[in-house]
Amino acid sequence: MGKTRLKLLVLLLFMLSCKNEKTAEPIEDVSKPNVLFIAVDDLNNWISPIANFSNAKTPNFDRLAAMGVTFTNAHVQAPLCGPSRASIMTGLRPSTTGVYGMTPDNLIRRPDNPATKDITFLPEYFEQNGYHTMGIGKLFHVHAPDSLFDESGGRVKGFGPHPKERFVWDGRGKGIKGIHGRTNTDWGPFPEQDSLMPDHASANWAIERLHRNYDKPFFLGLGFLRVHVPLYVPQKWFDLYPLEDIETPPYKSDDLNDIPPVGMQINDLPMMPSTEWAKESGEWKKIVQAYLACISYVDYELGRVLDALESSKHADNTFIVLWSDHGYRLGEKGTFAKHALWETATKAPLMFSGPNLPKGKKIDAPVEMLSIYPTLLELSGLPAYNRNEGKSLVAMMQNDEGISKAQALTTFGMNNHAIKKDGFRYIQYEDGAQEFYDHSTDPNEWNNEADNPIYAQKIKELKALLPKVNSKWDSESNYTFQPYFVEQKMRVNGTE
């Protein structure tokens, strides 16, 4: 009888242990940190922690800066969203892959592109190393390749919401229908509530996942659509910036007189408002106001996500990286667009925070967005990926290593490059034409010193840093908004 009771007791204990195991919350693997990967579309350096242009009101960008390290001089590898994001996600330069234009997310990695046919995308590398991966919003050009994430929230199509009629700009400007593309460029207060913005829903999706429990570390990608045009956000964000207090960026009407012909071709954007039009129409301050309103709106959504992380059990074991895919010109160099190899188009925010990183540190040395991939791997304790062409920034953040040698390369189309180093910018176009700017005396890049003999040695040094490989255009990569790039692809790929 005693043996029977003992057997029953053992069986009962076993059943209870099984029940507890089944209903227990997952225990997070704290041996590796989580990653919160935040992309903000078309965000330039006007935010308060960097330039504080026109008294930009960005308390949550300030908050993130206080939590970690801000790079004030980070540069994209292409001043256009598609190739810039492809570079970050592949860890490869546009000159290596030939992805110079917009490429469908599912076609970046293809058997007929030798550089990308077997590349491992950044989130994929984390998944292969034991991470649960999630993503929502604009991360690649549209969202992400199919099945890349374990969980995908997708992306709302386009950059809405849109009013029934545009407020100001018709989207075509002086462009010719059937020849030039039509853009979303417009500005004004719309819609009425933050909850009607796609970014609000994306933030909600990310917030819900930050409050979950996981049995493995996670990689969570969140891609905000603003501040991409149209510059529409609710009225309350415009109210933060009275027109009478708005500054306009530095502008010189004859600034482009010393730009080589190829540079002028690249800057030919008839679908975008020109600075002269904005001045004459009285819209310049209104465009700047709308851009700043969009920045403050994104700052609000960022704050909601930071609140969620800080109130979660993941707060002390999560690295954050926030980046943008390029800068944005708000009248500099004659237009309102990215699309250039000048400073205001290539420079964008880059911020890191997390365990063992300094707090409130700013680094002014030029760095590349290409460094995001290897930096996150090192921070997370994962093996380096030998295909990465960028360099990790961990030693620079922790010990200031490499600051004196820091440099950044940007490419726009085949064989058009800009190098930023030692306070200088050197640009070389496909036909050998050059631009050179000394930022110590000319921060606005108004005076092309390429023919000035006192800079000959420095130009020679920077020219030696240009890529030795300049791949032809990837067959699936295109940029049809600009006649120059349509012609270049046909010419260099032999498809004329």
The residues annotated as belonging to the active site are 81, 141
Which run of H or E residues covers position 346? helix 343-346
Supply 46's token pair: 């006007």
Q: What is the DSSP string of 302-324?
A: HHHHHHHHHTSTTGGGEEEEEEE
List the one residue out of 355, 352, 359, 350 whose CA is nearest residue 318. Answer: 355
DSSP type of residue 347: B
* Terminal-to-terminal C-alpha distance of the chain: 94
Phi, psi of 246 (to 5 degrees): -75, 130
Strands (E), 9-137: 34-40, 68-71, 74-75, 132-137
Supply 114's token pair: 């030798």
List the one residue out of 68, 71, 72, 45 whose CA is nearest residue 360. Answer: 68
Which residues have a Cβ under 8 Å from the Cβ of 468 and sit 6 or more positions away? none
Rounded Cα distance between 317 and 473, Å, is 41
DSSP type of residue 274: B
Cis peptide before 104 (omega within 30 of 0): no
Q: 284-310 vs 198-210: helix axis angle to the nearest 10?
A: 20
Residue whose entry in the numeric block shows the structure tokens 């980046």: 323
Supply 436's token pair: 């050179």
CA 341, distance to chain mean position in Å, is 16
> How far is CA 247 from each of CA 38, 52, 284, 368, rounded to the nearest angstrom?
28, 11, 10, 29
Supply 97's token pair: 């892959």
Q: What is the DSSP string of 443-477?
A: TT--S--TT-GGGHHHHHHHHTTS-S--PPPPTT-
Supply 203's token pair: 């933030």
Strands 68-71 and 350-353: antiparallel
Q: Are 190 and 232 in contact (CB under 8 A)?
A: yes
